[in-house]
């Protein structure tokens, strides 16, 4: 039975918008893409000494298990040149499973819902754009509520369509 998953997409190396668009295109191999948020320009969180990010969120309907979807995301990251060196460091592409239906998982390599999604504006802004009523299964709040209550003051700006700059 298909399940709806939400995947965060981010890039801050190379042609960031193109990297995100290519990753979203490749996500179509994992299931049917239902919706794609706007692209957002955001400052880095965690490790600050790096370029700003371009972020988006995609919803997909998939028959893959959560672990299979994670493996597929890692394959896509590899195809787009992702090198895992510094935690929260620069990357050509980053794909994070934010939600997988209403499931709650705590596996060594996969925690769903994403453990930091409710604290990150660069995740909640695009998620609330495409799925304002989607429910965080642990906090029992919608994406819209989480965004409204968020204390994160980092800069997250919707990109202008078809522009090389935010």
In degrees and rounded to multiples of 5, residue 76 shows phi and psi of -60, -45
Given 82, 84, 120, 148, which residue is catalytic?
82
Radius of gyration of the chain (CA): 15
What ranges make up the beta strands (E) of 37-93?
A: 40-42, 53-62
Given 52, 71, 96, 152, which residue is catalytic?
96
Instruction: Look up 94 and say whether it is catalytic.
Output: yes
Phi-psi domain of 122 (left: phi exceeds 0; alpha: psi -120 through 50; beta: other) = alpha
Given 94, 102, 148, 155, which residue is catalytic?
94
Given 91, 102, 155, 162, which residue is catalytic?
91
- In Å, how far are 31, 58, 110 from 142, measured between CA atoms? 24, 16, 22
Instruction: Look up 91 and say whether it is catalytic.
Output: yes
| Residues assigned a catalytic role | 82, 91, 94, 96
């Amino acid at each position: 039975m298909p399940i709806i998953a939400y995947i965060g997409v981010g890039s801050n190396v190379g042609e960031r918008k193109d990297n995100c668009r290519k990753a979203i295109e490749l996500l179509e191999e994992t299931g049917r893409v239902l919706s794609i948020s706007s692209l957002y320009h955001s400052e880095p969180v965690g490790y600050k000494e790096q370029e700003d990010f371009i972020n988006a969120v995609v919803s997909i309907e998939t028959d893959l298990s959560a672990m299979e979807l994670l493996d597929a995301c890692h394959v896509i990251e590899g195809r787009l040149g992702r090198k895992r060196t510094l935690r929260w460091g620069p990357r050509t592409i980053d794909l994070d499973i934010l939600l997988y239906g209403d499931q709650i998982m705590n596996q060594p390599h996969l925690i769903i819902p994403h453990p930091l999604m409710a604290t990150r504006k660069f995740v909640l802004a695009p998620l609330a754009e495409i799925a304002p009523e989607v429910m965080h299964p642990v906090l029992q709040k919608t994406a819209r509520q989480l965004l409204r209550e968020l204390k994160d003051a980092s800069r997250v700006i919707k990109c202008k369509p078809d522009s090389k700059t935010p």
